[in-house]
Amino acid sequence: MSRRKIPDSEGMQALATWSEKHQESPLDSADVALAVRYALQVLHTRAPGKSVEIRVPPFGAGQIVEGTRHTRGTPPATVELSPDAFLQLATGTSNWEQLLRQGAIQASGERSDIREFFPLWPLS
């Protein structure tokens, strides 16, 4: 069974809430979860495929990028980020190089450099 598609209005509202409050503590995890899942949904639309697994624990994961299809076991390419790092990347408040230098991105495999897909949309 597939997940319900998050409407753009709900997803963008969650992103706006995250953007306004992400430096505050604590941020409502339901808002963060919705923002992450929406960003993953948009990323999958822009980079469809099954060759790279992107993980944003504990809120979501998915397979993206055209290429060799992964079906079982450890995928040949993985990218893992915290929810905050993923949303920074998705919204352009940080970039791939900065987050990689900070150790906020764990990427392995030959197709794991997915910087070309970010930002998904810059928030101003």
pLDDT at 123: 61
CA trace torsion 85, 44, 20, 79 (10° rounding): 0
Asked whether the predicted pLDDT for residue 71 surpasses 70, the reply is no
* Alpha-carbon gap, residue 11 to 100, rounded angstroms: 26
pLDDT at 22: 76
Average pLDDT over residues 96-113: 94
Residue 4: which pLDDT band, with cuts at 50, 70 and 90?
confident
Who has greater pLDDT, 48 or 74? 48
Mean predicted lDDT score pLDDT of the chain: 89
Who has greater pLDDT, 123 or 10? 10
Task: Provide the whole-model pTM.
Answer: 0.90
pLDDT at 1: 37
- Is 2.60.40.790 the CATH classification of the domain at 8-117? no
CA trace torsion 71, 115, 87, 14 (10° rounding): -80
